[in-house]
Chains A and B, each alone.
Chain A
Amino acid sequence: MIVRIATEGQFHLPDEDAARLNELDNQTVEAVEAGDEDRFAQLFEEMLDLVRRDGRPVGDDELEESDVILPPPDTTFAEAAHEFTGEGLIPD
């Protein structure tokens, strides 16, 4: 599947990483909801690491839509709290 880290770039990521990525994503939001900034930073970093480590950058000549888009690496805790919790843009 194709994963984009917003403002950074697109990666081909093996499909077997999808479940782990999804899990990390949900845990990250839970951490934000719990107001746990350290845990948020740690989980988000883990997500980015997973994509950068296992992923292969998409070439400039490939015009593909991403299956998954992660927030910019410099997303702050406050921004995450604003975007991904509470009423949220998209309810569960």
Chain B
Amino acid sequence: MAGMGGRMSVVIKSKINKLLDKAEDPSETLEYSYQKQMELLQNVKKGVADVVTSKKRLQMQQQKLEQQVVKLDTQARQALAQNREDLARTALERKQFAQTELQSLDQQVAELENQQAQLIDKEQKLRSKLEQFRTKKEVIKAQYSAAEAQVKISEAATGVGEEMADVGLAMQRAQDKTESMRARAGAMEELEAAGAFDDNLQLGSGGDDIDRQLHELTSQSVVDDDLAKLKAELGQGSGPEPGQLEAGAPESAPGEERPT
């Protein structure tokens, strides 16, 4: 104990302790712990399933965005081939935004994978602690007087209880996180469906005006670069004839099939 009185640890400890419900009778403690434990294990399983579902959803979004990037790139080429720099610029802006979203999705998926592993690990730990508890209880009962056994079993039950409370806390945090990721993923799908994909401002995580302008500036320069690159690839200097593209840009061959 050594006189620990730091405020954070005291608050957290009292919080965890509140989650522990210490029964006085050891046999009750065991029954209670066991039931709680089984419920909790079910919850952890459900929690892991939730995390996996969220992860799958994010991965689907990743795929969609990847397709989007390819499509927008093609569109930009086509637009430029027709001397529609304005359209090409819009396509590249969207592409740039989709790429930014992709990066953030990568991070989120990694975070979910981490949580999934952590929960599975904790579930196993809890299982083995409970097994220990059941074994230990029998040993204690055989070795000690009833009164002493009661104290010792209660102590062991507290150890298991704390582990359970901690798994509960880990679950709760994982669920809170997946929920907010889900909400964000849902919002993004709605925006996509509403065709508002080009409005990157609505999707940011609440950046203010300055953030927004900075973001615009950065993406603008990326778009300018992209545009310049495309132009170079397509062999456009200034005011080229659309006709000369076919020879100069083998990559745009599939584009010939586009309507009109």
Which residues of A come within 8 Å of B, CB atoms?
A: 1, 4, 6-7, 9, 15, 18-19, 21-26, 28-29, 60-72, 74, 80, 83-84, 88-90, 92
Contacts and interface: CB of A to CB of B under 8 A. Distances in A.
A60 B135 CA distance: 13
Given A1-B1, A6-B166, A62-B159, A90 B6 contact: no
B7 A88 contact: yes
A84 B7 CA distance: 7
Interface stretch (B12-20, B57-65, B180-188, B202-210): B12-20
24 contacts: A1-B4, A6-B12, A7-B166, A7-B169, A22-B3, A28-B6, A29-B6, A60-B128, A63-B133, A63-B160, A64-B159, A65-B159, A67-B2, A67-B4, A68-B9, A69-B12, A70-B9, A72-B173, A84-B8, A88-B11, A89-B14, A90-B7, A90-B10, A92-B7
CB-CB nearest 6 A-B residue pairs:
A25-B6, A63-B159, A18-B2, A7-B170, A63-B156, A60-B128
B12 A70 contact: yes
Interface of B: 1-16, 118, 122, 125, 128-129, 132-133, 136, 155-160, 162, 166, 169-170, 173
Nearest to A32: B8
Contacts of B166: 4, 6-7
A68 B2 CA distance: 10
Contacts of A19: 2
Contacts of A84: 7-8, 11
